[in-house]
């Protein structure tokens, strides 16, 4: 997915954007705040009491993809969800940074010495990198369709959406590029429900500024050193791995590696489900995660 973004960045020029996350979410959070990190800031929401759980969103989206999970989990846990740098209401990603370092800064600022991490896609990659860098700070990992840093993996063979994205880029239309991504295999299967389509479209449009940042400075996120590929056996904490049968070849390849190499993995395969697992199979996701966190 990051390769596709890079292909578009050179073609896209300045156009008006919507400040991500300014539109109202589902339920009012118990608390909000902002943590200063080098060159930017991280916006977060938190609520509930109990053992800490942190939600990490997927790429090109923001914390609002966890609306249902935030409200459900905070009934029994201290739950934090945040916008990754460059997304939602967090600050820009226009200086070099490592996403797992931002998570470390957030946990330190909120006085959270140890937490369970729930990450989807980009969020899964960040969670893995953080768990390898700071294993003492991670209780459990929930990896839903996770990405990974480093390695060589199966290529995504469905890139038809890039045609519309390139046309929008030629028109200097960052919102058009963002909307083209709704046709990508990473999110297309989540649009079978009309209500979900409207919600995802709203979040994607709100994050159109992400594409503008790619034009200004390309991708300044630094990969973990060393990367996670080849180090998965070091993940000693319990892992719940959730994989949709209709997800992309890249995600399937990464999931096989995690299930094979990490020692304490429980893999759940979801037939007929694509990449956005919590949105496509919300009840199953909730039940599996709740059971895993309570063990």
* Residue 11 predicted with pLDDT over 70: no
Query: Which of the four pLDDT bands, split at 50, 70 and 90, describes residue 23?
Result: very low
What pLDDT does 122 receive?
A: 97
What domains does the chain contain, in order, with CATH numbers? 2-294 (3.40.50.1820)
Query: Which of the four pLDDT bands, split at 50, 70 and 90, describes residue 212?
Result: low
Per the CB < 8 A criterion, the answer to whether 106 and 131 are in contact is no
Q: Which of 37, 72, 39 is nearest to 55 (CA)?
A: 72
pTM value surpassing 0.85: yes
Q: 3-state class of 82 per DSSP?
A: strand
* Residue 210 predicted with pLDDT over 90: no
What pLDDT does 14 receive?
A: 34
* Residue 93 predicted with pLDDT over 70: yes
What pLDDT does 266 receive?
A: 98
What is the rounded average pLDDT for all residues in the chain? 89
Q: Write the Ramachandran bin of 270: left for phi over 0, alpha for psi from -120 to 50, otherwise beta.
A: beta
DSSP-derived secondary structure for 191-210: GGSHHHHHHHHHHHHHTTHH
| Torsional sign, CA 154, 284, 178, 129 | negative
Question: Phi, psi at residue 33, to the nearest 5°?
Answer: -170, 180
């Amino acid at each position: 997915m990051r390769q596709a973004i890079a292909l578009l960045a050179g073609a896209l020029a300045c156009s008006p954007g919507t400040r991500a996350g300014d539109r109202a979410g589902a339920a009012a959070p118990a608390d909000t705040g902002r943590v200063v990190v080098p060159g930017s800031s991280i916006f977060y929401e938190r609520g509930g009491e109990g053992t800490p759980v942190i939600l990490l969103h997927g790429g090109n989206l923001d914390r609002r993809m966890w609306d249902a999970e935030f409200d459900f989990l905070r009934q029994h846990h201290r739950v934090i969800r945040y916008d990754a740098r460059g997304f939602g209401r967090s600050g820009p990603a226009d200086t070099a940074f490592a996403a797992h370092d931002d998570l470390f800064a957030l946990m330190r600022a909120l006085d959270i010495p140890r937490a369970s991490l729930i990450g989807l896609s980009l969020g899964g990659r960040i969670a893995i990198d953080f768990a390898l860098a700071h294993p003492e700070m991670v209780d459990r990992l929930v990896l839903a369709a996770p990405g990974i840093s480093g390695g060589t993996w199966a290529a995504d063979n469905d890139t038809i959406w890039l045609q519309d994205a390139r046309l929008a880029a030629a028109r200097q239309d960052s919102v058009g590029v963002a909307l083209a991504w709704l046709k990508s295999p990473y999110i297309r299967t989540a649009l079978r429900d009309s209500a979900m389509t409207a919600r995802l479209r709203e979040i994607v449009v709100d994050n159109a500024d992400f594409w503008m940042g790619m034009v200004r400075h390309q991708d300044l996120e630094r990969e973990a050193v060393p990367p996670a590929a080849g180090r998965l056996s070091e993940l000693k904490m319990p892992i719940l791995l959730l994989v949709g049968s209709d997800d992309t070849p890249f995600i399937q390849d990464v999931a096989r590696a995690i299930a094979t190499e990490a020692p304490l993995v429980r893999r759940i395969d979801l037939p007929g489900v694509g990449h956005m697992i919590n949105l496509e199979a919300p009840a199953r996701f909730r039940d599996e995660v709740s059971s895993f966190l309570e063990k």
